Structure 1
Amino acid sequence: MGNFSDKKRCSCDKCEQKRKSEKDGDNCKGCICEQLKKLQMGTQLNLYLSSGQVFENVYFNTLNQKNCCALFSDPSEATAPTLIVDCESIQAISIVTA
């Protein structure tokens, strides 16, 4: 009977990508999370959440890839100008152009 260390590790693309993500601390999945990873800080956009709530004309600040928290600034909201959203709860975004 072989021990655990004798077992071969799967090397398919899916398993390799999962190991790479775990190693890098990248836990966020989905289309919107992937887009936010590439989005430039300060980009103005509209957020459409899975709950149906919409946030218009907010500015992207950052994405924490370990806990999936995306931070946005909402200049129209004087009492709570920072919006924190789980990127996996965002159904869609639209970039606002001048």
Structure 2
Amino acid sequence: MDLSDGRHASGFAVSPISWSDMKHYSDMMGLSIYPWEYRILRDIDKAVIIAVREKAERQKAGEPEPQPVVKGHVMTPEIFGAMFGK
């Protein structure tokens, strides 16, 4: 997502996207975004930050990445292709 590419680097962790950055991005792109959409973007951003932090912690601990599971089956390229025709 373009908006995420504009994050400010902190050197230690992923920085959240600020309200002003979201507003500037929407203005620059000519988008009309409602207040509730900004809140959703902020919630998604929080989830991204948590996921990035957890991934870094797993890598530091030498733990393998969890595999996505769909209806009790590990998602493989074959299952994905059968589901989505890819």
TM-score (norm 1): 0.22
Structure number having the greater strand percentage: 1
- RCO (CA 8 Å, sep 6+): is it higher in 1 or 2? 1
Larger Rg: 1
